[in-house]
Chain A
Amino acid sequence: MIIQSDQLGSVDIDESKILSFDDGLLGFPDISRFAVVDAGDDGTYFWLQAVDDPQLAFLVAVPWAFFPDYAPVLSDADQHALSLTDADDATLFCLLTITDDGVTANLLGPLVVNTATRQGRQVVLGDSDYSTRTTLAAA
């Protein structure tokens, strides 16, 4: 299917690869279907485009390239909600915020995807010391 995205222009989405966030994202409870689209060509950044809202897109990154020590621990409830039984089935993205001062990553509320089922969920690492605004360290 073709989405006329405000951010990405016309993008062709493979419907079999759409991620389902049944609970949406915090603050966006009704937006449940997202497509991951490459942003740039080095595999660092991705667009998370809302399939049903062409105006809504987020920039995300797999955090370990910038934060190699990042070690989020998923609660039983989150594992259960994602039907995750094997850590190898999990992929994790962090939402990025672009400000005048640079780019920050939300390490406190990462997005976890069960790649086997394509279910996703924003998890809240409430017992951790991670921040919603950690500056990306540039090389």
Chain B
Amino acid sequence: MLVLSRRSNESIVIGGEIVVTVLEIRGDQVRLGIEAPRSVTVHRQEVHAEIQRENVSAAVTGAVDVTRLPKAPPPS
């Protein structure tokens, strides 16, 4: 892993197009500003990991009786 030291209001550039700026450092929390092309998605890692875990849980491994799934409520 590349390790860089940055102060408040200093930035790093990734791939020439993505700029990550340290906006504020307060205690153990760092606020980052991220400028990226619109084709690049940026997410908190833990959100990504949570969805990944749920996908693995969602992969159907046993037999499923689809007739026993909850019925959708009638449209109101």
Residues of A within 8 A of B (CB): 7, 25-28, 39-40, 42, 44-45, 56-59, 65-66, 68, 75-78, 80-81, 95-99, 102-103, 106, 108-109, 122, 124, 126, 132-133, 136-139
A124 touches B76 (CB 8 A): no
Which of B43, B58, B71, B74 is close to A124, meaning CB atoms less than 8 Å apart? B43
Query: Which one of B4-12, B21-29, B49-57 is at the A interface?
Result: B49-57
Which residues in B have their C-beta under 8 angstroms from that of A97?
54, 57-58
Which single member of B48, B58, B67 contacts A59 (CB below 8 Å)? B58
The count of residues in chain B whose C-beta lies closer than 8 Å to any C-beta of chain A is: 30
The reply to whether A7 and B72 contact each other, CB–CB distance below 8 Å, is no
For residue B60, CB closer than 8 A to chain A, the reply is: yes
Whether B76 and A77, one on each chain, are in contact in the complex, defined by CB atoms closer than 8 angstroms, is no
Contacting pair A80 B71 (CB below 8 A): no
Nearest chain B CB to A91 CB, angstrom units: 17
Chain A residues whose C-beta falls within 8 Å of the C-beta of B57 in the assembled complex: 97, 99
Give A40 to B65 CA distance when docked, in angstroms.
Answer: 9
Q: Judge whether B51 and A132 touch: CB under 8 Å.
A: yes
- Looking at the assembled complex, report how far the CB atom of B43 sits from the nearest CB atom of chain A, in whole angstroms: 4
Which of B38, B51, B59, B64 sits near A77, CB closer than 8 Å?
B38
The residues of B that contact A77 with a CB separation of less than 8 Å are 38-41
Q: Given contacts A40-B69, A44-B69, A66-B72, is CB(A58)–CB(B48) below 8 Å?
A: no
